Amino acid sequence: MLRYFTAGESHGPELTAFIEGIPAGLPLVTTDIDYYLARRQRGYGRGDRMQIEQDHVQFRAGVRGGVTTGAPIVMVIANRDWANWQDIMSPDPGGETQKRKVTKPRPGHADLAGGIKYRQADLRNILERSSARETAARVALGAVAGKLLQQVGIRVYSHVVQIGPVVAKTDFQSKMDIWNVVENSPVRCGDPQGEKAMMEAIADAKIKGDTLGGVFEIIVTGLPVGLGSHVQWDRRLDGRLAQALMSVQAVKGVEIGIGFASAGLPGSAVHDEIFYNKERGFYRTTNRAGGIEGGITNGEPLIVRGAMKPIPTLMRPLASVDIQSKQPLQAAVERSDVCAVPAAAVVGEAMVALTLAESLLERFSADHVRDLISAVELYRQYIREEWM
């Protein structure tokens, strides 16, 4: 069973990531993780915090000699900005904990609801943990999961399909050979014209003191048929993927395949017809289902999208109410991004990788990576020989 957790505050000393259930024998070094952490920090529209932090992971447990041992893996990512906040964020009594007290909740953030729930007079105790800085730890966990998936030929990709009103025109479902374009794009977009328009929209929002959201798409190749199950609601892979992506800060919608568009189409324009020949076995000529039918992977690429709302910290803040005086005022302003959709795409990769790794290990339980590889190969042989 795969379990994972994160701990730490945005301006605390470090973020901690814990994952249990990764088989022994997985080659894993810090550069495997740092590569994904760097991708999360890039993107046009990011704020000053990305200039301060240069995320680097350190293993605290579960890895020896560049290989996992089968024990729980613990990783830490230091917050460089902690040097400027150690008195304010000190866990000890006294200090300067009142110096940056927050009493002006931001609309769209966890500030007010969290403050009421946890009886906090200082909303910093809410925003420090609810901050998207936490996703750095999730990306570290997702990098481990992604490395495991790669051992059996599964690859996870992401790109941005919309920022604000600008929608990209590139069809990545049929052009899997141009991911380098995305990796070199400031907004993770493979459409050069769309990229330019997205950057212009972000620049305009910054001038206005506003923020922009958008839509990112995750595509996964190499998945075998049969991950997930139809037999219980909590084993349906589509439901688990939706929950994983909805847990990412600011994500307000998730769809698989053509998702919401299917609600306005007849069945003949939604479902993927099934074909067969000896060379390919069962196959489809369309993938509107996004690789999942009945909560189970069907062998086609997985396609899942997340819709991210604009970041709630505005340089021209919205109306709010002080939680102490109850007087109307403008919401608090914390250092933030104008647009973080490109980063959210990388976080989305991590959550999808973790969910798929969990499902893979449920289907092919293994204590060592070699056992996992053998089990998956045997299963694929069964599909080829008995179903093709």
Q: pLDDT tens digits, residue range 295-324?
A: 999 999 999 999 999 999 888 889 999 999
Confidence tier at 388 by pLDDT (50, 70, 90)? low
Q: What CATH superfamily classification does 98-387 receive? A: Chorismate synthase AroC (3.60.150.10)
Query: How far is Cα 66 from Cα 68, in angstroms, rounded to an integer?
Result: 7
Q: Would you say residue 352 has pLDDT above 70?
A: yes
Considering the entire predicted model, what is its pTM? Answer: 0.95
Work out the pLDDT band at 172, boundaries 50, 70, 90.
Answer: low
Alpha helices in 222-340 (DSSP H): 237-246
Could you read off the pLDDT of 67-105 as tens digits, one per residue? 999 999 999 999 998 999 999 999 988 778 788 899 999
How far apart CA 144 and CA 128 sit, in angstroms, is 25
pLDDT at 263: 96
pLDDT digits (tens, 9 = 90+) for 247-283: 999 999 999 999 999 999 999 999 999 999 888 888 9
Look at residue 174 and tell me whether its pLDDT is greater than 60.
no
pLDDT at 175: 54
pLDDT for position 277: 86
At residue 2, the pLDDT reads 95
